[in-house]
A and B are shown apart, each in its own frame.
Chain A
Amino acid sequence: MAALAGRVRATAILIVAAAAIVWGASLLPNYELRVLDSVLLYVLLAMGLNIVVGYCGLLDLGFIAFYAVGAYSYALLASPHTELHWPFGAVLVVAALLGLGAGVLLGIPVLRLRGDYLAIVTLGFGEIIRVVINNADALTNGPKGISRIYRATLFGWTIATPLDFFYLLLGVCAICFMIVWRLERSILGKAWAAVREDQDAARGVGVDTTFVKLCAFGLSAMIGSVAGVIFAAFQRFVSPESFVFQESLLVVLVVVVGGLGNLLGVIVGATVLIVLPELLREYAQYRMLIYGLMLVGIVLVRPRGLVPKRFDPAWLMVRLGWR
Chain B
Amino acid sequence: MTLIFENVGKRFGALTAIDGVSMRFEPGLIYSIIGPNGAGKSTLINMAAGSYSLSSGRIALDGRTISGLPKHAIARAGLARTYQNIRLFDEMTTLENLEVALFAEEFRHIIGELFWPRRSRTLKAARRARCLDVLRRFDLDAFADVPARSLAYGHQKQLEIARALVARPRALLLDEPAAGLNHAETEILRARLEALKRADLVMIVVEHDMNLVMSLSDRIHVMHQGCLLFAGTPSEVQGNRAVQEAYLGTPGEHDVIQAAAEARTRRVRIRAHADIARHRSRPASR
Nearest CB in chain B to that of A209: its residue:
B72
Nearest CB in chain B to that of A186: its residue:
B113
Tally of B interface residues using CB under 8 Å = 37
Query: CA separation between A245 and B252, bound complex, in Å?
Result: 69
- A197 in complex: contacting residue of B70, B89, B102, B120, CB < 8 Å: B89
**Would B81 and A204 count as touching, CB distance under 8 A?**
yes
- A201 in complex: contacting residue of B50, B83, B167, CB < 8 Å: B83
Query: CA separation between A194 and B75, bound complex, in Å?
Result: 15
Residues of B within 8 A of A198 (CB): 87-89
- B89 in complex: contacting residue of A186, A193, A209, CB < 8 Å: A193
Q: Which of B18-26, B103-111, B206-214, B217-225 lies on the face that meets chain A?
A: B103-111
**Would B92 and A205 count as touching, CB distance under 8 A?**
no
**Would A201 and B88 count as touching, CB distance under 8 A?**
yes
B-contact bits for A46-90, CB 8 A (1 contact / 0 none): 000000000000000000000000000000000000000000000
- A190 interface contact, C-beta 8 A: yes
**Would A183 and B103 count as touching, CB distance under 8 A?**
no
- Chain B's nearest CB lies how many Å from the CB of A266? 19
- B99 interface contact, C-beta 8 A: yes
- A187 in complex: contacting residue of B51, B76, B110, CB < 8 Å: B110
Most buried by A among B49, B80, B87, B88: B87
Query: CA separation between A209 and B107, bound complex, in Å?
Result: 13
State which residues 57-115 of B face A: CB under 8 Å.
70-72, 75-76, 80-81, 83, 87-92, 96, 99-104, 106-107, 109-110, 113-115
**Would A190 and B75 count as touching, CB distance under 8 A?**
no
**Would A179 and B114 count as touching, CB distance under 8 A?**
yes
**Given that A197-B92, A209-B72 are known contacts, is A187 also in contact with B106, CB under 8 Å in the complex?**
yes
- Chain B's nearest CB lies how many Å from the CB of A1? 18
**Would B103 and A203 count as touching, CB distance under 8 A?**
no
- Chain B's nearest CB lies how many Å from the CB of A184? 11
Residues of B within 8 A of A24 (CB): none
- A203 in complex: contacting residue of B72, B83, B91, B107, CB < 8 Å: B72
- A191 interface contact, C-beta 8 A: yes
Residues of B within 8 A of A137 (CB): none
- B75 in complex: contacting residue of A191, A193, A197, A205, CB < 8 Å: A205
**Would B81 and A187 count as touching, CB distance under 8 A?**
no
- B99 in complex: contacting residue of A182, A190, A201, A212, CB < 8 Å: A190
**Given that A182-B114, A187-B102, A193-B96 are known contacts, is A203 also in contact with B75, CB under 8 Å in the complex?**
yes
**Would A200 and B89 count as touching, CB distance under 8 A?**
no
- A272 interface contact, C-beta 8 A: no
- B127 interface contact, C-beta 8 A: yes
Query: CA separation between A198 and B110, bound complex, in Å?
Result: 23
Residues of A within 8 A of B71 (CB): 200, 203-204
**Would B92 and A193 count as touching, CB distance under 8 A?**
yes
- Chain A's nearest CB lies how many Å from the CB of B32? 21
Most buried by A among B76, B99, B100: B100
Residues of B within 8 A of A183 (CB): 114
**Would B127 and A187 count as touching, CB distance under 8 A?**
yes
**Would B113 and A191 count as touching, CB distance under 8 A?**
no
Query: CA separation between A206 and B81, bound complex, in Å?
Result: 11
Nearest CB in chain A to that of B49: its residue:
A204
**Would B110 and A205 count as touching, CB distance under 8 A?**
no
Query: CA separation between A203 and B50, bound complex, in Å?
Result: 10
**Would A206 and B101 count as touching, CB distance under 8 A?**
yes
B-contact bits for A172-203, CB 8 A (1 contact / 0 none): 00000001001101111011011001101111
Query: CA separation between A187 and B124, bound complex, in Å?
Result: 9
A-contact bits for B37-61, CB 8 A (1 contact / 0 none): 0000000000001110000000000
Nearest CB in chain B to that of A194: its residue:
B100
- Chain A's nearest CB lies how many Å from the CB of B270? 27
**Would B120 and A205 count as touching, CB distance under 8 A?**
no
- Chain A's nearest CB lies how many Å from the CB of B200? 18
- B107 in complex: contacting residue of A179, A185, A187, A197, CB < 8 Å: A187
**Given that A205-B100, A205-B101 are known contacts, is A197 also in contact with B72, CB under 8 Å in the complex?**
no
- B170 interface contact, C-beta 8 A: no
Residues of B within 8 A of A179 (CB): 114
- Chain A's nearest CB lies how many Å from the CB of B215? 28
Sampled A-B contacts (17; CB under 8 Å)? A182-B114, A182-B120, A186-B114, A188-B107, A191-B107, A193-B96, A197-B89, A198-B89, A201-B83, A203-B71, A203-B75, A204-B49, A204-B83, A205-B75, A206-B72, A206-B75, A206-B104
Q: List 5 additional A-B contacts (Cβ < 8 Å) besides A198-B88, A204-B71.
A: A182-B115, A186-B110, A186-B120, A204-B81, A207-B100
